[in-house]
Every structure is written in structure tokens, then in C-alpha cells.
Amino acid sequence: MNRPDRDQPLHSPMSRREFLRYAGLLSGGLLLSACGVAPAAVAPPTPTTPSLSPTRLPGDTNSAHLGKAIIAYAGGACEAPTFIAYEKGFFQAEGLEPELIALEANTLKEALAAGKIDGLQQTADSIKSIEQGLEIRITSGLHKGCIRLVAGADTGITKVADLKGKAVGVHVFGGLPQVLVQWALADAGLDPINDVTYKVFPPPQLEAAVEKGEIQAFVMYDPFPAIALNNKTVIQVFSTHDDQPYKDMFCCFIGVAKGVIDQQPEKAAAITQALQKAAYWVSQNQAEAARIVAAKKYVPASEELLASLLTLYDYVPNFGNAKAHFLRYAQVLKQVGVLEADTDPAALTDLAVLQVAPEFVPGSGHSHTPPSAQFPAHLIPELYAASPLVTCGPEHSHGHGQAQFYCKLNRA
């Protein structure tokens, strides 16, 4: 099959069949994990923390030896949990011998089929691919807030309705960023299919495409929109951190190979738990996480920018909300014509989203965290606040008398 021209409009003169064929490229690997695209499939640096003394986070650790776990990454800012799980020993604490690989586009399907990938951070870009048979399953939500729609600073676009008749850059047809734009267009009373032209560019070229006038806006995972904002070439129209209805929904999930879930369920659980615990660690150590990720050059962004971005992503790993959010994305994908007409979003969600590990609760069953350890309640799903392991209530900040709501881990 010939590669599509990157300037090919999504619809008209493209037929729905052609669009779905292009959307099918997702199953070849363009959906890869997360908020960016890996620069090359190269071996990652040696972890800075020896595997014999991994960072400990309250929660279960696994003394079993589960063998090698191959974890793929794409080089996005929000993949910090993947890099931290590797660098700080969270995989080892779960009994795994981790290997990180930077996977290039169009290789994910083949790598999964060949058993070359065990897990990765995954986006809702995978929904179409799973419908088409991609052997990956979602085992937890990981975080929110890493997608932005930005427009050229001199285009006059300040709101979604201003996109009518304009060209919007995307990294792939049918991916989650494009679907969010279509969702927003429909909410603004526009035709999400025909009122905007969509053009595909590699993520690092999106900002330049705006400057050249090839597109007037683009939607993408960080760090690419954030870099453009820092360069003052664009303004933000919406983000999944700031704007409803997206801000409360997971944008990134944990994906585990179906073969691992079927044949090595303990390993699937260990991968899931390691990434959940690393995500929580990132939420509590944003500056340190940014320093580690920048120093190892996992992401094409400065330490300062990474530190700023990590404060925006709500790392609240859990399964229950992940399934609900995946279903909502599937419903929207069907509404805009990405999924087949006979696909049932609920059935697809039941197929795709599988619980392989207990619901994550920071500090459950252990006393490694001091009993005074606190974390803001807004970082905790409601199910955490209802847990007997956690006590929640107002606490007055010293000298100000202003009540803030905190949750405190109970002593084990």
C-alpha cells in the first residue's frame, strides 16, 4: 500500500473507505504509547539506580523473579512514569528485569505479534487498532492532561468555532487528538468531518507547518505544543488539562500485550503495578522526575519545560475510571465514523480493558511511608478517599488559617 500524502484531507475527496484504511495505520504503530514520537529505536541509557536497591514506594512489592519485561516508549513528556520505573527500580521491585526500547512508527503490530513488546504507555489512539485486532489490552488509566490544540499566533483563531474552513495538523488520522478536535467542533455546532481539513505531519514538523501557513492550527501530545507555546509561535485554544469535557478523562493508559496477560498473568500484573507506582512517585517528585528524564534525553525538551509539564498531568492511576473513559472515547470514535458501523463500543471496551491487578492505593498494606505522609485529595480518585487505608479531612495551613483538604495514609 502506498503511503498517504501528508497533505491529503481527511474527508472529501477522500471516501470513508479510504479514511478507514488510513486510520488503520494506527494498528501499525503510529498510536505508539503516548505523548510523542520516539526519535529512533535505540537502546536506552543504563539506569541510574542499581536494580539491587530500587526506590521504594508504599505498596506491594513482588519478590518473585518474573524475568525480562520489554517496555516500549515513544519519547513523550507524559511518559515520565515509564522512564522513572526504569531508572528508579520500580520494575525490579515487582520482580521484573526491564528492557526499554524506543519503538519506531509502523512497527508496533509486528512487534506485538513477535512477542517483542510486553507493555507500554498507551493512548486511546489504540481503540481503532484493537477493533482491527491489535493484540494489546488496557490494564489501568495512568494520567490526564497532555493534549493541546494550538493555533498560529497571527491566524486570528482563539476558539474552536474559528477553525471552520481552516487546516488542522494531526500526527495521524483517527488518533485521539484529532477525535478531541472533532468532538469540540460538534459541541460548537460545526460539522466535525467537513468543516475542517486535517493534514498529517510528523510531530516535530507541526510548528514549522503553522509558520509556513500549510496549516493554521495543530493538535498533539506534549511536548510539541508546549514547545511551540514557549516559542510564542502559537496560542492555546484548548487543552485536556484545562477544558471540559476532557480535563477529567484519562488521555494515557497502561497497555500490556494480550499474550502476556493470557500466558503470564503475574508479569502483566507486575508491569501494571510498577507503572502505577512510578506514576504516583512522579506526582510527588515532579522536579526530580524532570531532572532524570532530561538528563537521559528520553524526551526532546529541557528540564525546565519538563518540570512545568509534569505539574499539569494528573497522575491518578486506577482501573475503574480507565474503563469508563475508554468507553466514552469509543462512543465518540463511532459517532465521527472512525469505528465500524456494526461495532458496539461497550463490547469493544469489555474486550480491550482488562483488570489484571488490584486497584492501586498508595501505601496499601505497608508502613514504608511515614504516618504523617500526605497528598492532596484532588489527586485521589473517589475510591481512594473511601478506602479504610486513607483518612481525609480539612487541614489548616500554618499562619494563614485557610483550610485545605488533604488525605493521610493510615499506619499499616
Q: Over the stretch 156-166, which tens digit does the pLDDT of each residue have?
A: 999 999 999 99
User: Residue 289: inside a domain, yes or no?
Assistant: yes
Q: Which three cell numbers stand for residue 332?
A: 465518540
Cell 469489555: give the residue.
Answer: 350
User: Residue 190: inside a domain, yes or no?
Assistant: yes
Q: Which residue has the higher pLDDT, 244 or 326?
A: 326
Give the per-residue pLDDT at 63: 52
Task: Say whether both 279 and 338 belong to one domain.
Answer: yes
Q: Is the peptide bond before 245 cis (omega within 30 degrees of 0)?
A: yes
User: Residue 12: inside a domain, yes or no?
Assistant: no
Phi-psi region of 152 (alpha: psi -120 to 50; beta: other; left: phi over 0): beta
pLDDT band at 126 (very low <50, low <70, confident <90, very high): confident
| DSSP conformation class of 273 | H
Q: Is the confidence at residue 390, as pLDDT, over 90?
A: no
Relative to beta strand 67-73, strand 96-102 is parallel
Number of folded domains that form the chain:
3
- Dihedral pair phi/psi, residue 23, rounded to 5°: -60, -30
Cα–Cα distances in angstroms (integers) from residue 156 to residues 151, 237, 279, in the given order = 8, 11, 38
Confirm if 126 and 30 have CB atoms less than 8 A apart. Answer: no
Closest by Cα among 125, 123, 160, 150 to 244: 160
Task: Say whether both 129 and 261 belong to one domain.
Answer: yes
Domain boundary among 204, 239, 274: 239
Task: Say whether both 28 and 137 belong to one domain.
Answer: yes
Cβ-based neighbours of 196, under 8 Å, separated by 6 or more:
163, 164, 165, 166, 167, 168, 181, 185, 190
Q: Is the confidence at residue 389, as pLDDT, over 60?
A: no
Confirm if 282 and 315 have CB atoms less than 8 A apart. Answer: yes
Using CB atoms within 10 Å of the CB of residue 401, give its burial: 0 to 12 exposed, 13 to 18 middle, 19+ buried. exposed
Task: Say whether both 25 and 138 belong to one domain.
Answer: yes
Task: Say whether both 272 and 348 belong to one domain.
Answer: yes
User: Residue 358: inside a domain, yes or no?
Assistant: no
Task: Say whether both 260 and 136 belong to one domain.
Answer: yes
Domain boundary among 206, 239, 272: 239
User: Residue 3: inside a domain, yes or no?
Assistant: no
pLDDT band at 62 (very low <50, low <70, confident <90, very high): low
Give the per-residue pLDDT at 144: 78
Cβ-based neighbours of 165, under 8 Å, separated by 6 or more:
195, 196
- CA 320 – CA 41 distance, rounded (Å): 33
pLDDT band at 410 (very low <50, low <70, confident <90, very high): very low
Task: Say whether both 193 and 73 belong to one domain.
Answer: no
Q: Is the confidence at residue 372, as pLDDT, over 80?
A: no
Confirm if 164 and 132 have CB atoms less than 8 A apart. Answer: no
CATH classification of the domain holding 100: 3.40.190.10
Confirm if 72 and 79 have CB atoms less than 8 A apart. Answer: no
Q: Which residue has the higher pLDDT, 367 or 187?
A: 187
- Biggest CA–CA distance in the chain, Å, is 67
- Buried b / exposed e along 378-394 (16+ C-beta atoms within 10 A): eebbeebeebebbeeee
Identity of residue 232: K
Q: Which residue has the higher pLDDT, 402 or 153?
A: 153
Task: Say whether both 171 and 227 belong to one domain.
Answer: yes
Closest by Cα among 129, 187, 194 to 168: 194
Task: Say whether both 262 and 116 belong to one domain.
Answer: yes
Residue numbers of the domain that contains 335: 21-144+249-352
Task: Say whether both 44 and 169 belong to one domain.
Answer: no
Task: Say whether both 292 and 322 belong to one domain.
Answer: yes
User: Residue 138: inside a domain, yes or no?
Assistant: yes
Closest by Cα among 257, 292, 319, 326 to 70: 257
- CA 148 – CA 236 distance, rounded (Å): 7
Helix or strand (DSSP H, E) at 376? strand 374-376
User: Residue 309: inside a domain, yes or no?
Assistant: yes
- CA 386 – CA 394 distance, rounded (Å): 15
Give the per-residue pLDDT at 37: 46
Question: % helix / strand / coil in the chain, to the nearest 5?
Answer: 35, 20, 45
Domain boundary among 211, 239, 267: 239
Q: Is the confidence at residue 391, as pLDDT, over 60?
A: no
Task: Say whether both 111 and 180 belong to one domain.
Answer: no
Mean pLDDT of 220-246: 86
User: Residue 16: inside a domain, yes or no?
Assistant: no
